[in-house]
Homo-oligomer: A and B are copies of this chain.
Amino acid sequence: MQDKHYLMIPGPTPVPPAVVAAMSRPMIGHRSEDFAALHRRIEEKIRRVFGTVHEVFILTHSGTGGLETAIANVVSPGDKVLALITGNFGERFAKIARAYGAEVDEINFGWGKNVDLTVVAEKLAGDPGYKAVLATQNETSTGVLNDIAGIGALVAKTPALLLVDGVSGVGGIEIKMDEWHVDILVTASQKAMMLPPGLAMVAVGPKAWPVIEGNSAPRFYFSLPAARKSFEKWNTAYTPNVSLFQGLDAALDMMLAEGLENVYARHILLARAVREAVLALGLRPLAEAGYASPTVTSVYSPEGIGADDIRKVLKEELGVTFAGGQGILKGKIFRIAHMGFADKMDVILAVAALEMALTRVGYPVELGKGVKAAQEVLLGR
């Protein structure tokens, strides 16, 4: 049926009506007092989401632009960088650093595994010359959550900066940038922040500024010193996406009205419900329970059945869109997002649709069994 779509991919995620309404407000000039007031309101609220007292720059580009902003301001040719990789987005972060001429040491923990802190500790003890350590909070390609607090405690003892990709985590999963010693934290609008794509948010801590000021890599649009200068007058260095700023203001209001603790607890509950349902259906989640993502669940397709065949039935017959696997997991897994504007009945719908699609592609499941498992989690039984 036209327009009857249930988007359950890890970004872009569904946008709440209140955010759509805010984005439909009349355009305002970006050098106006109205914009400055809007920017200030956003800043006061978004710092709570980031767990920081420092500036969070709202930049008009996507999450990858946000990651490049972090790199371009910190890394110069020949700098040594340590990349902690648990999937596609960890690899991308390292790739950007290499594009800026860094000598990148990669530790690849495997797609579906999380960062092992003892390995990181050893690596940092063995080579004290890293300028930056790159980590991913929530690896979207695998549905793995990494221990940023643990990584932060290790990196804080060294001169290196900790740059964190929080793109599919921030806003849905707790992060305490200052307390956890994150020096630059990046997220984007189209994930747990409940907005369309188009904005990256980059927060910068005090340990990072001397490095940023002294960095020699070329940067103009991505310049954090330029962003900081404009920020003093609640301005942006270049033309901002005004509509998304208006939407962000509304999205932050929604998150704070719900209460950040409740937002985080909701994501954990939804992830548990999906996981129990998947297990009840005899399927295997990619990530172990101890480090499974609260915002996206990756599931292996049953033996002999292509994940994309399941996704095709879901989309064409039921209007439900799951994400597929990336890189080495292409065709092998599907990913169910429960991120941002998602609540109990959305995950029930996802599980029921999965049962129906599995039935269609010839994998025998007991209809309703996964739903029951999810219902029990959601009812707190």
Contacts and interface: CB of A to CB of B under 8 A. Distances in A.
A254 B3 contact: yes
A289 to B, nearest CB: 22
Contacts of A359: 375, 379
Nearest to A255: B2
A226 interface: no
Contact of A16 (B2, B317, B318, B343): B2
Interface string A249-263: 000001001100000
A96 B319 CA distance: 43
A234 interface: no
Interface stretch (A146-154, A330-338, A347-355): A347-355
A341 B16 contact: no
B379 A368 contact: no
A268 interface: no
A345 B319 CA distance: 8
A4, A355, A378 pick with most chain B CB within 10 angstroms = A4
B341 A318 contact: no
Interface residues of A, number: 40
A3 B379 CA distance: 21
A341 B371 contact: no
A73 to B, nearest CB: 36
A341 B379 contact: no
Interface string A354-381: 0110011000001111111001101100
B258 A2 contact: yes
Interface string A5-16: 010000000001
Nearest to A263: B1
A312 interface: no
Contact of A258 (B1, B266, B371): B1
A359 B352 CA distance: 19
A370 B370 CA distance: 13
B352 A345 contact: yes
A266 B2 CA distance: 13
A228 interface: no
A344 B3 CA distance: 13
A360 B379 contact: yes
